[in-house]
Chain A
Amino acid sequence: MDKVASLKWFLGIFTALFVLFLYGPFIVMGILSFQQGPEGGPQFPIIEWSTYWYQHVFGIAPPSRVAPLPIGEALFRSLSLAFATMVVSTVMGVLTAQAFRSQFRGSGVVFYSVILGMIVPGVLLGLGMALLANQLGIDRNWWSTAFVLHVVYTYPFAFLVMLAIFNRFDTSVEEASLSLGVSPARTFRKVTFPIIFPGVLSAMLFAFTLSYDEFPRTLFTGGSDVTMPLAIYGTFAVEIHPNLFAFGVLTTLFSFALLAIYGILLTVSTRRQRAKASGLQEDIS
């Protein structure tokens, strides 16, 4: 018993240290974002605690030699690009996974060609796309060439999430709907989709976040109007100020907000389903 207890303690402490190490960068960034400004630099010690750099990010700090972050438009681009990618990838992912529910010829080839998009290194894919666009005389833009690559990259993730969801899906409810005289299309809308909805949310979250901070593919194909990750990279390639950290904290909070929305949507949609999901499985087994 003693051995087990001490092992538990060891594993617990090990895990805590590991988590601390994982979040170390974020903690350091969070602390440094409250550095005094505009003289304070991105390093310890903290000269004086202040919210100067947050004001700087929002453009309400008094003018100084530190240039404001070029994030306004970049943020807008990133968000719209992530949103569009999310919609397209999720729709494609759901439909593809739906197709894979029944066996068809060449399904193996199709499967791997979809998955290829997330396996091929982003730099290569970005470079290839840039070359192709040049060959064809297409302008490179965040909303065209980069968008295509974002979809190529996130679509496999959405597809795999939905594949796992459909794997556990009980087909008999669809059959029940069909035998009640409901057409296949309406059955999908009224039965299949509501049941797989939590999975669709997960696929959306994946697609959105992956696209939102995508770097290498966008670097080569985004053209002159940069997205947020590129804008940030552009600023600290020159000189790093704590405003970047302040912005980082805000972005992270934004991500948490996204997760929270996802969580709320999931709870709302599963609350009613919880009772019911047991209705499907519990009694049979």
Chain B
Amino acid sequence: MLEVRSISKGFAGVPAVNDISFEVSENEYITLLGSSGSGKSVLLRIIAGLLEPDAGEIILRGEDISKRACHERRIGFVQQKYALFPHLNVFDNIAFGLRHRNNDRITDESLITRKVSEMIELVGLVGQEQKMTGQISGGQKQRVSLARTLVTSPEICLLDEPLGALDANLRERMTIELQNIRKELGISFIHVTGNEFEALAMGQKMLVMSEGHIVQQGEPQTLYTMPQDLTTAKSMHSFNIFSGDMMADHLKSGLKGKAPSAKISRASHCAVRMDKIDIAKPTAKASGLEATFLTSEFLGNKVIYFFKTNDDRICEVEDHMSLSEPKHLNPNNAYLLSWDAADMLLYDENKQLIS
């Protein structure tokens, strides 16, 4: 339904978004993952019509809307910082679009009341209608912001780090609620985030952005287990990445069993999942990549161990509590790290996965 074709945008000659193309289907939840400065917010603002692209087209239901003004696009935009109207109460905030929009403005107050009340019920704000926006909590503000956009029934809804300003607890709850609300309304969402867990959990399709490019798109599970691009692997924050001269040495010592030397010789980078690494005490028989244990972090359901290799590289190992007991390791002692060839991803000099 929405097609983004070769969109580019630069600021003062520096490209922020570079030749980006992707498609959104009907009733789809897309997440767009990228670190800050990757151009993801710029892309969203271009789609919303708040920024003009230097090149490219945006096609909505077969119609080129690239030149259309923001208020004529019928694209909803939920901002990170809520951007609620401070001079209006919750009800009037939500009713604002219906009352004042240029097309299909609703003048029948009873119809507005009905639509707004339905939306208030859907997002769980019953009883808050008359409060001013300063009197409600961050999570409620987020709901008002969402309700305000959704009540105007946009063709598609863009969310710019919608959960970014919420605390972790609320974030998890809103994650589920956002999905439920979307399913109920059947509107496609493009959800921009810098949090890989959010992106993995929420999207039916996931795009990974870096330096103004989309480096990979696909199903979250595929992207997580088989990142085709090293940048994708990096943005998952679940891989130890080895690069440079020492890489081959590291691989040879860390690999259990026979090394696929033909592939290794082509590889410039290597990624090993943090939860797929075994830790062993150095004995005469044992083999592995030698590393010094630094410290560990207990996170409830898992423990993260931090090691330093001989070339001063930090290597993280994750242990899930459901699979094993926490290990007692001595700081500043040497240990051996090892992994299976199957859990190792090799990338060529262009950062592409070697299959």
Contacts and interface: CB of A to CB of B under 8 A. Distances in A.
Interface string A267-285: 0000011111111101110
A181 B153 CA distance: 11
A178 B50 contact: yes
B50 A175 contact: yes
A194 B87 contact: yes
A195 B87 contact: yes
A194 B148 CA distance: 19
Contacts of B83: 170, 172-173, 175-176
Interface string B68-110: 0111111111010111111110000000110011110000000
B232 interface: no
A195 B86 contact: yes
Contacts of A178: 49-50, 69-71
Given A277-B86, A284-B165, A179 B96 contact: no
Contacts of B86: 173, 195, 273, 276-277, 279-280
A180 interface: yes
Given A275-B132, A283-B141, A176 B74 contact: no
Contact of A173 (B84, B100, B101): B84
Contacts, number: 117
B203 to A, nearest CB: 22
Interface string A172-192: 110111111111101100110
A283 B165 contact: yes
Contacts of B101: 180-182
Contact of A191 (B69, B85, B152): B85
A92 B83 CA distance: 28
Q: How many interface residues does chain A have, given as a range?
A: 20 to 34
B133 interface: yes
B87 A180 contact: no
Given A172-B83, A184-B71, A179 B50 contact: yes
A181 B88 CA distance: 18
Nearest to B135: A275
Contacts of A179: 48-50, 70-71, 73, 75-77, 149
Interface residues of B, number: 39
A181 B141 contact: no
Given A277-B134, A283-B141, A182 B84 contact: no
Find the residue from A184, A190, A278, A280 having the highest chain B CB count within 10 A: A280
Interface string A147-188: 000000000000000000000001011011111111110110
A270 B71 CA distance: 29
A275 B134 contact: yes
B149 to A, nearest CB: 7
B138 interface: yes
Contact of B96 (A177, A183, A184, A276): A177
Interface string A248-280: 000000000000000000000000111111111
Interface of A: 170, 172-173, 175-184, 186-187, 190-191, 194-195, 272-280, 282-284
A-B interface, 7 closest residue pairs, ranked by CB to CB distance from nearest: A276-B86, A181-B101, A180-B97, A275-B134, A279-B134, A279-B133, A179-B77
25 contacts: A170-B81, A173-B85, A176-B83, A176-B85, A177-B96, A179-B48, A179-B49, A179-B77, A179-B149, A180-B149, A181-B71, A181-B72, A181-B97, A181-B102, A181-B103, A181-B152, A182-B96, A190-B96, A195-B87, A273-B86, A275-B135, A278-B134, A279-B134, A282-B134, A283-B141
Given A180-B100, A181-B74, 5 more contacts: A182-B100, A272-B87, A276-B86, A276-B133, A280-B86
